[in-house]
A and B are shown apart, each in its own frame.
Chain A
């Protein structure tokens, strides 16, 4: 199985801050990487797929980059509705696996 790790596991930030979350795969997954946002009691919401493609309807303050084993999700200017948990997910090979999540909290 491909193991996914994320860092940090949590972070505190303020509205307007630039936030970066990293995701690392245990082997190369090329660009078969997606990012999701999850709020309490809700299903995850797709933000980015294929490492850097913004899902339709997702604000442009979200961006993704990376290839191979190292990936980054950037929120350019944190908004109140962005406080949530973020997960990465690989689909290079089955079993598809998720990272453990990064919780973005209010500073």
Chain B
């Protein structure tokens, strides 16, 4: 059974770096596309980016200069760093998987989400 679990600080100060980790169980992160998605309170979903161990990392241009996604296959985890955060980055952050065997990428497994609040 595939499970994803986000972890990291729930409160980040403005201008600092938000750091989250997604721990994956039930499947190796050496396959599939592994994404971060966020949802500001009461608003819609925004895709942040993905990492794929075919050698592909892709970020949303709206966040491109501030985002880094990386992975650790030894721990079966992947991580998100978002720098220079402001209150606009306050959101529930989800990690999710998109399988590679279907060309129409879709998120079939999600973490439960973690609320990150940017405030001093």
Min Cβ gap B120→A in Å is 26
Interchain CB contact under 8 A, A95 and B44? no
Say yes or no: is B88 at the interface (Cβ < 8 Å to chain A). Answer: no
Residues of A within 8 A of B107 (CB): 34, 36, 44, 46, 89
The interface on chain A, measured as residues whose beta carbon lies within 8 A of the other chain's beta carbons, has a size of 26
Say yes or no: is B62 at the interface (Cβ < 8 Å to chain A). Answer: yes
Known A-B contacts A34-B107, A43-B113, A89-B106; A95 and B61 likewise in contact (beta carbons under 8 Å)? yes
Dominant secondary structure at the A interface: loop
Residues of A within 8 A of B105 (CB): 32, 91, 96
Say yes or no: is A98 at the interface (Cβ < 8 Å to chain B). Answer: yes
Interchain CB contact under 8 A, B108 and A55? yes
Interchain CB contact under 8 A, B62 and A95? yes
Say yes or no: is A100 at the interface (Cβ < 8 Å to chain B). Answer: yes
Q: Contact mask A60-102 → B, CB, 8 Å, 1/0?
A: 0000000000000000000000000001010100111111110
**B contact set with A: CB distance below 8 Å:** 35, 44-47, 58-62, 94, 96, 98, 102-108, 110-113
